[in-house]
Amino acid sequence: MGRAPQHREMLSSQGPGHDEIDFEFLGNSSGNPCTLHTNVYAQGKGNKEQQFHLWSDPTTAFHTYSIVCNPGTVDTKQILFVYYSFLVDNSPIREFRNNEAIGVPFPTSQRMRVYSSLWNADDWAMQGGRSYRNFNADGCVNSPSGSSCISKSANSLNGQAWRTQELDPAGRNRLRWVQRNFMIYD
């Protein structure tokens, strides 16, 4: 189905200040397009979802799903992220910036972990009951001493360059095009 490369140990945390950033596939068996649901749950508060019908069927070929996280402040105890970018096959579909200064919760309250699960979402998300077949997952362990696997992709960012990467003008145009043509819920 796809790969979700991560640059940091992140995605979900536990407790009353629960933080979560994710991709969710809401399928169907009725022939309608699969829905990609993106979610940011910050400091115990949700209501930051966006949904997309993608430009290609995620069940027919391999795709790459990425969440790029950019820290603004790094010290020896924690990294404070200021920006998350959601990408599908290197095309940006969503940005989520740290706007805590104006009252928008942002996932900064605790260290996050990567989780992956397949579960029956029943009728609320399944549009008739699409199910996964032949699902494979591949991941890398990230630790202070380095990642357990290194990308050999020509598109990979070397060293720490990813820490300051934001969308360039072409990326911003692509983001607007994707949201205008494929976003079905915000």
Q: What is the mean pLDDT of residues 24-37?
A: 76
Asked whether residue 148 is assigned to any structural domain, the reply reads no
Indicate whether 98 pLDDT > 60.
yes
Catalytic: 24? yes
Say how many domains are in the chain: 1
Length of the chain: 186
Catalytic residue (one of 9, 20, 95, 166): 20
User: How does pLDDT run across 124-156, given as a tens digit for each residue?
Assistant: 555 555 555 565 666 566 566 655 555 444 344
What pLDDT score was predicted for residue 51? 92
Please, are residues 3 and 156 in contact by the beta-carbon 8 Å criterion?
no
Q: pLDDT: is 26 or 161 the higher one?
A: 26
Annotated active-site residue in 9, 24, 49, 100:
24
The boundaries of the domain holding residue 63 are 2-119+157-185
DSSP string, 8-34: SS-SB--STT--EEEEEEE--SSSPPP
The answer to whether position 133 is within a domain reads no
- What CATH number is associated with residue 78? 2.60.120.200
State whether residue 85 is helix, strand or coil: strand
User: Is residue 132 one of the residues assigned to a domain?
Assistant: no
* Residue 130 forms part of a structural domain: no
Would 128 be classed as within a structural domain? no
- Residue 9 is a catalytic residue: no
**42: in domain:** yes
Q: How far apart are CA 161 and CA 66, in angstroms?
A: 16
| pTM metric for this prediction | 0.68
Given a contact cutoff of 8 angstroms between Cβ atoms, the answer to whether 142 and 4 are in contact is no
What does the pLDDT read at residue 17? 75
